[in-house]
Structure 1
């Protein structure tokens, strides 16, 4: 779930926490699409406090990444670790996203 959203330096900084399953992924998508519709195109997603993310959560991040690229923006992932990092590596999403 989304713990915090902060606008800073023309970037939407999102902190996620806990387990991200289909229900949470849908909510995350809706909230972040609202920011995109307002004209924001650069996103920093902090997953340091995420314990697990399922395929629907990964799908939401990929879809948001694609949309930011279409408008000349960027989606960056921060704080990969543990199982979440393993999932990103296994699915080769580490080659898709900018990881910091």
Structure 2
């Protein structure tokens, strides 16, 4: 997993690429620490370059929502496609997360 966090006006953009799996938990948590330290009230997780996600990766998306709630931020997820979309739908994450 590689990521780039940037300020984009009224939101913080997290562009994530590669895989989002159990092996990437520490990197994902580092990214979240960076995000919550920023002043923008909204966070956009761009998953358009994610090729694979496992159950741990889906848990990380829920963790992002939890951290956002704790800090008064909102999270939107965009760019869900392919295997990632199938997993999100299978786990009904689209009912819990704001997926665009």
Q: Settle same-fold status: TM greater than 0.5.
A: yes
TM-score by length of 1: 0.86
Query: CA 1:66/1:26 → structure 2, altered by over 3 Å: closer, same or farther?
Result: same
Q: Which moved more, 1:54-63 or 1:29-38?
A: 29-38
Contact between 2:5 and 2:31, CA under 8 Å: does it hold in 1? no
In structure 1, the residue matched to 2:65 is 65
Contact between 1:13 and 1:43, CA under 8 Å: does it hold in 2? yes
In structure 2, the residue matched to 1:74 is 74
Structure 1 residue runs of 5 or longer lacking an equivalent are none
Contact between 1:2 and 1:28, CA under 8 Å: does it hold in 2? no
Q: Deviations over 1:19-70 (max 9, x none)?
A: 1121223211122123314555421011111111111111111011022123
Structure 2 residue runs of 5 or longer lacking an equivalent are none
Q: What's the Cα RMSD here?
A: 1.7
Secondary structure (helix, strand or coil) at the match of 1:72 reads: coil
1:4-43 equivalence runs, <5 A: 4-43=4-43
Contact between 1:2 and 1:14, CA under 8 Å: does it hold in 2? no
What is the number of equivalent residue pairs in this alignment? 100
CA distance in 1, matches of 2:11, 2:2: 16
